[in-house]
Every structure is written in C-alpha cells, then in structure tokens.
Amino acid sequence: MLRFRDFPYERPDFASFREEFLGLLRQFAKAATADAQAEIIRQINDKRNYYESLSSLAHIRHTLNTQNDFYAAEQEFFDETDPLYKDLITEYYRALVASPHREELSRHYGRQLFTLAEMALRTFSPAVIELQQQENKLASSYKKLLASAAIPFDGEKKNLSQLIPYQQSPERSVRRDAAEARYQFFAAHREEFDDIYARLVAVRTEIAARLGFKSFIPLAYLRRGRSDYTAREVSSFRREIERYAVPPASALRKKQAERLGLVSLKYYDEALFYPEGNPAPAGTPEEILEQGRVMYEELSQETGEFFRELTERELLDLLSRANKAPGGYCDYLAAFQAPFIFANFNGTAGDVDVLTHEAGHAFQVWLGRHRNIPEYHFATMEAAEIPSMSMEIFTRPFMELFFGSRAPLYRFQHLCEAFLFLPYGALVDHFQHEVFARPELNSAERRRLWRTLEGKYLPHRDYDGHPFLEHGGFWFQQGHIFETPFYYIDYCLAQVCVFQLWQRAFTDRDGAWLDYLALCRAGGSRPLLQLLSMARLSSPFAPGTVKRLTAVVHSFLSQNSQ
C-alpha cells in the first residue's frame, strides 16, 4: 500500500476541474432515471474526493513545516480556490435537491445527504466568495503566528508544544516560569492576535449579512451541520453545566491544591495533579508507538488491522520540531483511503492521548473508507468527537503498557480532566455566542468579556496577578475560536455521551463496544440525535442527563481520589 511520503501531489488545474464538474451537472440534469443520476453522483464524488484529498495533502504538508515555501504557496492556492470550489458544490446541491428522483435517491443515499445539502445551500453565495477567501487567509495567518513561537527557555528556543512539559513540572518555580514564558509570547503579539480576530469577526459578520442572516450565529450552526438542535438547546445545555458541573469542578480543584500541598491553586498549578509529577509514558516515541500497536491488537480485530495500516503507511507524524504547527488533528484523504494523524509529542501523557483521541477519529473514518460519499466520511462535528473521546475510554484498561505502576494515577487524572473540561468548553462556546451577538465590541471589550465569563465558569481560577491573563488574554491560544468558530461545545456534548459509555462499560463492556462500532460505522449518514439512538445513548439535551452523569462521575472521582 502507498505510504504517505509517496502520495503524489500536484496543484489541480481548477479551471479544467470546474468545466468537467459543470459538465457532469449538465448530464445530471438530463438523466432520465434515478440510476443514471446515481452514476453521475458517483463520478462527481470521485472528483470531489480527488480535489479535497489534494487540499488536505497540501494542508498537512504545510503544517508539518510552515516554513516550506512550496506548500505555503499551495496552502495559499487552496485558501483562494476553496470558496470557488464551494460554489461548485452549491451548484451540485442545488441540482440534487431539485431532482425529480429525489425520493428514490434519498432511499439509496439516506435523507441526511439531502438535509446537509439544503443546509449548505443557505451557507453560500457567489456574493461571499471574496469574503470567504479573506476568512481563510486570516485563519491561516493565525496558525502561522502560533507556529512562529520560538520562546527562550531552559537554554533553548521552544515552541508552544515544547513548553508543556515544563508547565507540568513538580517544581513550582519551573512551571510558573514556563507559564510566564508562554504568555509573554502571547502578550508580545497581543495586537496581532487582537487584529486577526477583530478582522475575522468583521468578515464573518459580513458574510452572514450578505447571506441574509441577522448574525453569524445561525450561519455557524449551519456550517457545523447542526440539523436537529439550535442555539436555544445549547444555551440550556450550558446552563446545566454551570449548575451541575461548575461547583464540583471547583471542589476538584480544591482537592488538587490539597494533594499538592498548596494553600491555593494558581493558574500555573492547574496542569499538575501529583506532587511527584504527572504520570508520563515511558520510552522513546518509537517505543510508545509500538505499545500503541500492542494495545490496538488486543483491543479488537478491527483496531488491530486499523493500527497496522496506520503505521505501515506512515499515516502519523508525531514529533514536535521547529516550524511545525502546534496542536494535533486527524484529517482524511479519501483518494488514498487514508486517515492522517498530526501531533506534537512532548513527553507528557498527552502523547498517549493522541494515540487514543486522534486515533479514534482516524478509526471512525477508516471503518467507512469504502464509502464514496464525502458528506459521510466524518460525522457532523459534535458526533465526530464521540468516536475520538470514546476511544480514550475503551483503551483505559491498557494504560499499564505506557505508564506501568502509575497507570491508576493516569486513569484518575484523565477522568478528572475530562470532567474539568466541561466548564471550560461551555465558557468558550458562551464567549463566541456573545462576541457574534455583539460584533461591534472592540478588542479590549472582548477580552473583558472573556474575563467576566471566566468568573462564571471557572470561579476557582487564580491568575496570581498576571497582567496579560487578568486582562482576558487566555483565549488567544484557543485555535478553535479563530479557525473553526463554534466548534467547541461539540466536545462537551460528546463528553456527556462518552460518560454514558464509560458507565456502561463497567457492567457490559462488550455491548458498549458494539454500540460504539455501530456509531462509528454510520459516519455522517445520520444527524446527532439519530446516531445517539443507534448507540443507545441519551441526548445531552434531555432533562436530567447532565445532572445525572456529572453526579455519577464526580462521585466516582471522590471515592477513588489518588
């Protein structure tokens, strides 16, 4: 099988691609039967998979080295052509929903395809192409600014990922200095981050206005493929988190301070869970990868085959290095039936989290690799996070492979961090709703808004007088806010679902795993609530769900405190 390094790349001739695509649409309009239209849909999807795979390949190789001039130029090319490509997809969707054979086609492809098509038609118009090009370039400039970090620390230049182990040091002075070095970078570039975000808010608001929306918020929900709930349900969900997750989260932070022997927990203490240091995986990155192979071979036949292919085809890039973009992600190159995992190993437990979380994304899309429908490769965003976060749960019994005798400490920390995330995820979502409800806010007002909302969702956080953070700059590092707006509450929604699988796995692990496989195999073929029903999961929006699960998890953490 072709390895990632050998995947061929050439910039697509967009003019030729466009003519061929429009020619297929003309044939589609003339096709006399549903079968004939289905054959043309197959050809259209082949072309889409080809174009989108080249776009993903350029993006991956650009993030692997943001100073590579060739792929930087290719990223700029796709930033420019992506709105033009979306224009073609809009024409395809318009033809699809108007088909006289729609009912027969929907029985073949599923109704979700037509739901997504109708939603997408509301998110695009030729009138916003230039604005979307601006939006893409601004998001890319944010990513490049993050990747430019070369922070003097411990006698070397560190990027943001390489600072994280120091921020988890058992020595309080080291983690404080590492945190201060981190935020000194953001403070030094405050005007640039403020400017990029201000321009993103303006351009997204203008796009929404041109498409006939009162604000960017409903447009963002359509972009995220949210078809079976609205901002009203999300607002109610956030209130449930504020009521039932924030107080126990504060209690967990108080217990953490006691465990560390501190009078009070400062912001630079939050990443440390144990006075002797957090559990860290033993061995080199190569040895960690080998232990990952053992884990997935033992977990199931499907995961064993999946992980063998992932490693043999070199579909992972895990090491942190200069000029590599920070963070981690999973992408999919349909033309090669290849998921790809991008990460920045740094010697912390986060390295193992990559082998579970991002591998969960990759596993879900790999299970559906023979499906030819681009809309169904990944589930919509909130559902797509369930496979990734659930894989973290199902692999918990194997953590001795990585952490040895400290595996129980890792499991406690992992579950605790999952719980503590709920208030933060709700904060990020609430902040974005407020920003786009009031796009006239200036940069200083947005930072004050963030600080106010921190008081609501993270009342325990103590910035120890740090001027940049006290003035609301923490969110500059949260890439989702800049690059994929409103894609963050998805993690909270998924976490509530994953807590259910975690609870079920205690008494019926095999049944929970089969439900998980069913959800993964469905991909994006159904909206969120239908996928949850397939996996026998309660909706996060259902009355009592958040209250019940937060109580169960907090009780478990309290009884199993390490």
According to the model, what pLDDT value does residue 346 have? Answer: 84
Per-residue pLDDT of the chain (562 residues; tens, 9 = 90+): 899 999 999 999 999 999 999 999 999 999 999 999 999 999 999 999 999 999 999 999 999 999 999 999 999 999 999 999 999 999 999 999 999 999 999 999 999 999 999 999 999 999 999 999 999 999 999 999 999 999 999 999 999 989 999 999 999 999 999 999 999 999 999 999 999 999 999 999 999 999 999 999 999 999 999 999 999 999 999 999 999 999 999 999 999 999 999 999 999 999 999 999 999 999 998 899 999 999 999 999 999 999 999 999 999 999 888 889 888 899 999 999 999 999 998 888 989 998 999 999 999 999 999 999 999 999 887 799 999 999 999 999 999 999 999 999 999 999 999 999 999 999 999 999 999 999 999 999 999 999 999 999 999 999 999 999 999 999 999 999 999 999 999 999 999 999 999 999 999 999 999 999 999 999 999 999 999 999 999 999 999 999 999 999 999 999 987 6
According to the model, what pLDDT value does residue 347 have? Answer: 87
The alpha helices in 438-508, defined as continuous H runs, are 443-457, 467-470, 479-483, 489-505
The label of the residue with tokens 């599923």 reads: 110
Contact 548, 399 (CB under 8 A): no
DSSP assignment of 240-262, as one string? HHHHHTHHHHHHHHHHHHHHHT-
DSSP assignment of 130-193, as one string? HHHHHHHHHHHHHHHHHHT--EEETTEEE-HHHHHHHHT-SSHHHHHHHHHHHHHHHHHTHHHH
According to the model, what pLDDT value does residue 320 have? Answer: 84
Structural domain harbouring 24:
4-131
Report CA Rg, the chain: 23
Task: Give a yes or no: residue 72 inside a domain.
Answer: yes
Contact 267, 159 (CB under 8 A): no
Task: Give a yes or no: residue 219 inside a domain.
Answer: no
Task: Give a yes or no: residue 362 inside a domain.
Answer: no
Task: Give a yes or no: residue 302 inside a domain.
Answer: no
Going by C-alpha positions, the residue among 186, 181, 190 that lies closest to residue 152 is 181
Task: Give a yes or no: residue 23 inside a domain.
Answer: yes
According to the model, what pLDDT value does residue 427 have? Answer: 98
Q: What is this structure's pTM?
A: 0.90
* Dist CA 308 CA 297 (whole Å): 9
The residues, ordered by sequence, that sit 6+ positions from 77 with a Cβ below 8 Å of its Cβ are 11, 58
Burial of 284 (0-12, 13-18, 19+ CB in 10 A): exposed
Task: Give a yes or no: residue 153 inside a domain.
Answer: no
Task: Give a yes or no: residue 69 inside a domain.
Answer: yes
Total structural domains within the chain: 1
Task: Give a yes or no: residue 263 inside a domain.
Answer: no
